[in-house]
Chains A and B, each alone.
Chain A
Amino acid sequence: MAQENQQPASIHPAVAFVRDRFPSEVIESSEIRGEATLVVKPESIVPVCLALRDEPSLRMDMLSSITAVDWPERLPRFDVVYHLLSLPTGHNVRLKVRVGDDETPHPEVPSAILVWPAANWFEREVWDLFGITFTGHPNMRRIELPDDWVGHPLRKDYPLTGFSLPEPQWGGQVPAPAPGEPKTGRRPLRVIRPDSTRK
């Protein structure tokens, strides 16, 4: 992580508010390049979001995005990142929760869909690409990938170049199509040996 130049003098109003309102729920906070980040406990994300939305001095009424970052070597493996924005006051803040360990392949985070309807697709996307479930989400289906896709591509252990295909068998040997499977247009390869064309 970068060097965190904490400046307690000019603390971000959203950070100050959450620290004041939920003193035991904030794990850490920082402000780098004017971007405030708050890390809160996963179970308290919905109350924090709700408080940030309804607090008259902040009014974080717009959810810009929800995404996640995979840190496979770290113990809470995933960061789920929320970017909030306030249209009336112009404040913005980044919320994070850290979830996931070796026992739970699909860690759970409470869904923010009741706070902002915009969370619907963002959370579906995080489920699709990271395999993080959002409890309370009414429609936790994949959004970008087909419904029968296996795996969650944006995890760091997901291979980039796809799957290992069987080695092609040269020399006229093409695997026969399974019964019922349509024939491919590929012809069997013929091996032309020099001695077959010349005496």
Chain B
Amino acid sequence: MTMSMGGPRSLDVDESEQLDERTRRDAMTINMGPQHPSTHGVLRLILTLDGETILKAEPEVGYLHTGIEKTAESKSYFKALVVTDRMDYLAPLANNLGYSLAVERLLDIEVPEKAIFARVALAELQRIASHLVWLASSALDLGAQSVFLYCFREREIILDIFELCSGVRMMTSYIMPGGLQADLPPGFDTQVRAFLKLFPDRLREYHGLLTNNQLWIDRTRGVSVLSAEDAVAFGCTGGTLRGSGIAYDVRKVYPYSGYERFDFDVPVGTNGDVYDRYLVRMLEMDQSLRIIQQALDGMPEGRWAVDDPKVVAPPKYEISSNMESLIHHFKLYTEGYRVPAGETYLRTESPKGELGFYLVSDGGPHPYRMHVRAPSFANLQALPKMIEGSQLADVVAAIGSIDIVLGEVDR
């Protein structure tokens, strides 16, 4: 990008409609993305610049649209779980959890205690893993390369735990309607406890690298401020909303999956700038550690999924000895289970914000409609509000700070 014309001018750009009158001959329109390395996927921004000052920003999304909502309509509830992994591919277990809870609410079933505790532990591990990718990439965008390497090192430990559980590092589909795909493996407790022991030190390391680093503060404090009113009006949730000073966390306001039984705090920022959003997510990782600790300590014995062969397949070894199990297997994997007609909108707090699943059932074995309220989609809408009037170099900081995943925006 070469912009040599003019220096930054202080232009009042509150009214984007007035742009045409104000646009002078040296205003310039450039594309940022979709292949820009700091757009976290394939986000395209059409920026109108005056020198390096942004007059107008227009995000263009859709480059990763894969029709996930349409695909889910043709699959049985059991199989539609797999496409939810692919939306927010940095936090597949959080998507699995939201989807499974929505299906369970329509089916009106309660999962066993062990599944509840395991799900919370996994969802919080997933939150840390997702925040680590956010921290790594947003710090890298601002030039802090070592943070990137350290964060991915710790994320790998979490992914190893997921691999231990499900055999897959990322697209696990481990949480499913009715409970978990399989029992927690024997080494789960030990590995997670080892991680809990190790991670606070590593977190301190990241804080040491960034939180009081003058370069980091200069690049983030007071940059791309989003006021609380704007954040609410644009439907922002998650760290983006809490950074602006509003303590909305679905886990506290609409507890799901037993979160009301866990003791944790919700960090809230004050200024709504990149630095506050950064701090909020950093402190959230601390709280996630607390929740995981409680989930491990309280993990009961017992089944990991409902004892209902209509929803969860009976053990494979029963097929050869039990006629009913054979029939259930056949029915589950061919037709799937039928879900009573009705609709539900279930909110969960994914690492990115409020992840809502709106499921409509017509009584058949396929979801009649599955709408996903993706947190990144709403958060991204507020991006022009954050960056208009600021400098081009701050766009990168702003995009990093709202933590978008384009797979979820486009679905």
B235–A62 touching, CB < 8 Å:
yes
- Please tell me if the beta carbons of B356 and A121 are within 8 angstroms of each other in the complex: no
Cβ of B117 within 8 Å of any chain A Cβ, yes or no, is: no
- Indicate if A157 sits at the interface (CB-CB under 8 A): no
Residues of A within 8 A of B254 (CB): 90, 92
Q: Which of chain A's residues have a CB closer than 8 A to the CB of B74? A: 160
In the complex, what's the smallest C-beta–C-beta distance from B139 to chain A, in angstroms? Answer: 28
Q: Mark A132-164, 1 if CB is under 8 A from B, else 0.
A: 000000000011111000000110001010000
Question: Can you list 10 A-B pairs, Cβ within 8 angstroms, ordered by A?
Answer: A1-B341, A2-B342, A33-B105, A65-B356, A65-B373, A67-B358, A70-B369, A121-B378, A125-B377, A145-B65
A111 within 8 A of B: no
**Complex contact B360–A33 (CB within 8 A):** no
Shortest CB–CB separation between residue B71 and chain A, in angstroms?
Answer: 8
Q: Does A94 contact B (CB under 8 A)?
A: yes
Chain A residues positioned under 8 Å from B232 (CB to CB): 61-62, 87
A97 CA / B381 CA spacing, docked (Å): 24
Contacts of B73 in A (CB 8 A): 160
Encode A106-145 as 1/0 by CB contact (under 8 A) with B. Answer: 0000000000111011000100010000000000001111
Let me know if A154 and B70 touch, CB within 8 A: yes
Q: A65-B371, A81-B358 are in contact. Are A90 and B253 (CB under 8 A)?
A: yes
Complex interface: chain A residues within 8 A of B378 (CB): 65, 118, 121
CB distance from B247 to the nearest CB of A (A): 9
A83, CB-defined interface residue at 8 Å: yes
With an 8 A cutoff between CB atoms, is A35 at the interface?
yes
Q: Does A27 contact B (CB under 8 A)?
A: no
Chain A 36-74: CB-based contact to B (< 8 A → 1; otherwise 0): 010000000000000000000000011111010110000
Q: Which of A37, A83, A142, A154 contacts B69 (CB 8 A)?
A: A154
CA distance A116 to B70 in the complex (A): 27
Cβ of A189 within 8 Å of any chain B Cβ, yes or no, is: no
Could you tell me if A87 and B381 are in contact, using CB atoms closer than 8 angstroms?
no
Tell me which of A33, A35, A116, A143 contacts B61 (CB under 8 A): A143
Q: Taking the complex as formed, is B85 at the interface, i.e. its CB lies under 8 A from any CB of chain A?
A: no
> Which residues of chain B in 348-405 are interfacial with respect to chain A, using CB atoms and an 8 Å cutoff?
354, 356, 358, 360, 368-369, 371, 373, 377-378, 381
CB distance from B194 to the nearest CB of A (A): 38
* CB of B192 to closest CB in A, whole Å: 33
- CB-nearest residue of chain B relative to A96? B343
Q: How many residues of B contact A (CB 8 A)?
A: 38
Do B70 and A64 have beta carbons less than 8 Å apart? no
Which residue on chain A has the smallest CB distance to residue B371? A67
Would you call A64 and B65 a contact (CB within 8 A)?
A: no
Please give, as numbers and ranges, the residues of chain A lying within 8 Å of B67 by CB-CB distance: 153
Interface size class of A (residues with CB under 8 A): 35 or more
Residues of B within 8 A of A154 (CB): 69-70, 369
Interface residues of A (CB under 8 A from B): 1-2, 32-33, 35, 37, 61-65, 67, 69-70, 81, 83, 87, 90, 92, 94, 116-118, 120-121, 125, 129, 142-146, 153-154, 158, 160
Inter-chain CA distance A121–B59, complex, in Å, is 11
Asked if B62 and A35 sit within 8 Å, CB to CB, the answer is no
B235 and A153: CB pair below 8 A?
no
Given A62-B235, A69-B369, A144-B62, residue A87 in contact with residue B358 (CB < 8 A)? no
B337 within 8 A of A: no
Q: Return the chain A residue nearest B378 by Cβ.
A: A118
**Nearest B residue to A67, CB-CB:** B371
Asked whether A118 lies within 8 Å of B340 as measured between CB atoms, the reply is no
Nearest chain B CB to A51's CB is how many angstroms away?
17
A144 touches B65 (CB 8 A): yes
Q: Which residues of B contact A144 (CB under 8 A)?
A: 61-62, 65, 410-411
CA distance A31 to B354 in the complex (A): 22
Q: How far is the CA of A169 from the CA of B173 in the complex (A)?
A: 41
10 new A-B contacts, CB < 8 A, other than A61-B232, A67-B371, A87-B248, are A1-B341, A2-B342, A64-B345, A81-B358, A87-B232, A120-B381, A143-B61, A144-B410, A144-B411, A158-B70
List the B side residues contacting A65 at CB < 8 Å: 235, 356, 358, 371, 373, 378
A62 to B381, CA, bound (A): 14
Is the pair B235, A64 in contact by a Cβ cutoff of 8 Å?
Answer: yes
Closest residue to B248 on the A side, CB-wise? A87
The answer to whether B344 has its CB under 8 Å from any CB of chain A is yes
* Whole-angstrom CA separation of A148 from B39 in the bound complex: 25
Chain A hits for B354, CB < 8 A: 64
A67 to B357: give the CA distance in the assembly, Å: 11
Residue B323 at the chain A interface, CB threshold 8 Å: no
B234 touches A117 (CB 8 A): yes
* A95 CB to nearest B CB, Å: 12
Q: How far is the CA of A62 from the CA of B240 in the complex (A)?
A: 14
Q: Which 8 residue pairs are nearest across A and B when measured between Cβ atoms? A: A118-B235, A65-B373, A2-B342, A67-B371, A144-B65, A144-B62, A69-B369, A117-B233
Residues from chain B with Cβ under 8 Å of A117 in the complex:
233-234, 381
Instruction: Given A94-B345, A120-B381, A144-B65, answer yes or no on A2-B358 (Cβ-Cβ < 8 Å).
Output: no
